[in-house]
Amino acid sequence: METRRTNSAFSLCLLSLSSLCVFSLSFSPIDNYLVDCGSTVDATVDNRLFVSDLSRVESHLLLASSSRSVQLSDRIYDSARVFDRPSRYVFNIRDQGTLMVRLHFRQFNSSKIDFDDAQFHVLVNKYVVLSNFSGGHKMSSPVVKEYLIPVDTEKLVITFLPAKKSKFAFVNAIEVISAPKDLILDTAQFVNGDKVENFDGLSKQALEVMYRVNVGGPKVTPFNDTLWRTWVPDDPFFRSIDVSKRVYFGGRIKYRDGGASREVGPNNVYGTARVIASTNASIPNVNMTWDFPVIDGYKYLIRFHFCDIASISLGLLYFNVYVNGNLAYKDLDLSFVSGYVLASPFYADFVVDGDDLGVLSLSVAPSNKSMAYAIDGILNGVEIMKMNKPTGILDGELCEGLILQSWPRSNTSFLFALIAAVCVLLSLSVFTHKKRNGMKNSVAWSKLPTDVPEVDSNHGNQQISGNL
């Protein structure tokens, strides 16, 4: 175990690294930062190299903060960077647009750090993504928080702030990755009661991934996803077990131009499904329903993933899609929307206000166009993402400004100014005294140094130029 304290500024402008995952050859992000925080060595996870935050620091941009590194082994969840005051990681961004940001947390036993004292806020640029967060429970499974952040500048800044001076912040690993341009489009459908209308500006919203579900199938790990995502089975959320059956597809998923890409959804998701099937001349009067707990006060982006892997022919599958009991898509014809190709994926985005009961209910059911002796409903996958409030909040009640104000500004800038003023006054005093006494021999004195570190008074952080 190694603990290292740094009293100077701490931030990262890391060199982008290409993922080594063999499944990601079709997508190579321009910005791809994988950071193993607090570790002295790099770590490989699912054929992806996470670089130690000690080995790739560029000394021309270091933002002041004290920090400690705690390390048990060379795995990303057995090391952590610990902060006892506001601190920032800074990433240079070449590909502006939507950035995928994943923050990895796991408490572990340490003789140097008591993780019970962890309580902190996290800001990503202007967005509050975590508030009064503890990083999970000691020795429990890792907690991975994933966000889609719109970025229109050349920097992405992740700020960690302890909630109180008696608390600390920590992080085990960070991912900052350019998202594919087709991952988040600008328009979705807003479901408001019995009204469905356009919702524009979606690509300018910050999103937190709440659920990513593989319907009818097993867990999909980052190794099997071109964007290194995790998809969990739908069993904990599905409440209509008796009315559906699972379908597995062994053929090739036919991705096509203009449709869903492998980055939107992987083969393993589109290759499994739950379906409603008519086995006789009558259309089943049933629906498949999934319930997802959510937090009130936010809008949510709901993405339905469809791929007809169950029909024996085109033009047989019609069904309705409901959100919170409201009709969101009537008579969905998968043959039409997928370009009349079976096993070709399609997705539909809807925006909805969080239910007052704290639950989002999603359903698929036969429509008036459904046919006998055919598949009358299908769903392959679901994603639910929380949208930021107008104040930039994705968690808690405090906006960025109030959180930053909760930490008093550092007195560093005042101290430097005071020292400089005293030096000037002393110099003037000596000069005046010499002149007054008619001294012909001057007393040696020198100008103030020109290499005094600049001070960033915004967050009490010191910016130092030059090599460490």
* pLDDT, position 453: 35
Summarised one tens digit per residue, pLDDT across range 398-436 is 999 999 998 875 443 443 444 444 444 544 554 444 444
Choose among 110, 145, 149, 115: nearest CA to 130: 145
CA-to-CA dists, residue 67 to 10, 38, 162, 256, 325, angstroms: 8, 9, 12, 49, 50
Mean pLDDT of 317-327: 97
Distances (CA, A) of 111 to 6, 67, 296: 19, 17, 40
Task: Tell me where in the chain the CATH 2.60.120.430 domain(s) lie.
Answer: 2-179, 187-387
Contact 318, 367 (CB under 8 A): yes
Q: What is the pLDDT of residue 56?
A: 58
pLDDT for 47-87, tens place per residue? 899 998 876 554 223 353 567 778 777 689 989 999 999 99
Four-way CATH pick for 187-387: 2.60.120.430, 3.10.129.10, 2.60.40.3080, 3.40.50.970: 2.60.120.430
* Contact by Cβ (8 Å): 99, 71: no
Asked if residue 180 lies in contact with residue 97, where contact means CB atoms within 8 angstroms, the answer is: no
Sorting pLDDT into bands at 50, 70 and 90, what band is 26? low
In sequence order, the 6+-apart residues with CB closer than 8 A to the CB of 424 are 448
Contact 279, 373 (CB under 8 A): yes
pLDDT of residue 21: 35
**Pick from 307, 378, 370: which is nearest to 337 by CA?**
307
C-alpha span between 33 and 405 (Å, rounded): 29
Q: Is the pTM of this model over 0.75?
A: yes
pLDDT at 176 over 60: yes
The mean pLDDT value of the chain amounts to: 82
Q: Does domain 2-179 have CATH number 1.10.10.60?
A: no
| pLDDT winner (highest mean) among 10-24, 50-64, 123-137, 397-411 | 123-137
Q: Is 460 left (phi over 0), alpha (psi -120 to 50) or beta?
A: left
Query: Which pLDDT belongs to residue 458?
Result: 38
- Predicted local confidence at residue 58, as pLDDT: 46
pLDDT attached to residue 111: 80
What's the pLDDT tens digit per position in 264-284? Answer: 999 999 999 999 998 888 898
Q: How many whole angstroms separate alpha carbon 428 and alpha carbon 431?
A: 5
pLDDT, tens digit (0-9, with 9 covering 90-100), for 218-263: 999 999 999 999 999 999 999 988 889 999 999 999 999 988 999 9
Compute the average pLDDT of residues 150-172: 94
